[in-house]
Amino acid sequence: MANERRYKQFRDELAALVREVSPVEQIRMFEARVLNLLARADLRPSELSRLKRQVEDLFGDTIAPWKDRLFEKYSEILDVVNTLYDDLPVDVTRDMARIRTIEMANAAELGDYDEAVARAVQRAVREGITEGDRVRELERRIAEVGGKAEVYARTLAQTQIKTVARGAKAEKARVAGVQYYEYVGIERDTTRAFCRHLIGETLHVDTIHQLRNGNREPVLLYCGGWNCIHDWEPDPFATAPTLDDIAQAQPLF
């Protein structure tokens, strides 16, 4: 009975949250919350179908458009953990958001690399980030791959570490129902106009999805683009943006 009450509370909280965001962000928020719920349940494969039925009963038609793909994603993540992270210090019940973001970042960044080089860099990124590498440490790992990876090792290391951190933070913010983010970081002489315009501003997540930096996107994950040192910091206390609309928020570059 206690579990049923908790599940209903989970459903009602989620329903209230998704009414305040766009359909695209509704899907992302729903996915983040349910995948987090599945991860924390620490299920055995034989239990997945049972929980799938329970989630269907809980959400009814709400989950219908994404139901099968959602559980496929969960199974895919477990497969990735078992095959690619089997000798690395990860716990899917705690690291779901980070693992998802590492794999997303690897796929997005390395499409232009030779397949063998890309695989080696992906392995270096998995090892480095899960073992807590800083930029210089991950740079050395990537440089050891050689070739094009060695030339761009610094940029890859800095971008990957920041991207994974931003992505994991955004996933946790979705689970927590946070919809506003502040653009934070220092301003230097070399700071891009895009970043200079946004530092200190708070925007709704749907507005952030509409921003274009002319460099590397999506902006929620890459901020100003390659090597960007800035961040979107979730603000659970914000109730309105400091810029009113996309026309104000969209910087010139």
Parse the chain into domains and list their residue ranges: 2-84, 92-167, 178-249
CB 192 within 8 A of CB 224: yes
249 pLDDT above the threshold of 80: no
Residues facing residue 234 across a β-bridge = 181
In terms of DSSP bridges, do strands 231-234 and 202-204 run parallel, antiparallel, or are they unpaired? unpaired
CA distance 193 to 16: 37
What pTM value is reported for the model? 0.80
CA distance 92 to 64: 25
What is residue 124's predicted lDDT score, i.e. its pLDDT? 94
Give the strand order in the sheet containing 180-184. 202-204, 180-184, 231-234
CA distance 238 to 217: 24
CB 77 within 8 A of CB 96: yes
Lowest pLDDT segment from 87-96, 144-153, 175-184, 189-198: 87-96
58 pLDDT above the threshold of 70: no
Structure tokens at 158: 């800095």
pLDDT one-digit tens code per residue, 7-26: 566 566 656 655 567 877 87
Q: What is the mean pLDDT of residues 211-234?
A: 92
CA distance 144 to 156: 13
Handedness of CA 159, 222, 179, 196 (dihedral sign): positive
Higher local confidence (pLDDT), 175 or 40:
175
What is residue 204's predicted lDDT score, i.e. its pLDDT? 94
What is residue 1's predicted lDDT score, i.e. its pLDDT? 44
Structure tokens at 4: 């049923």
Q: What is the mean pLDDT of residues 107-130?
A: 85
Reported as a pLDDT band with limits 50, 70 and 90, residue 46 is low
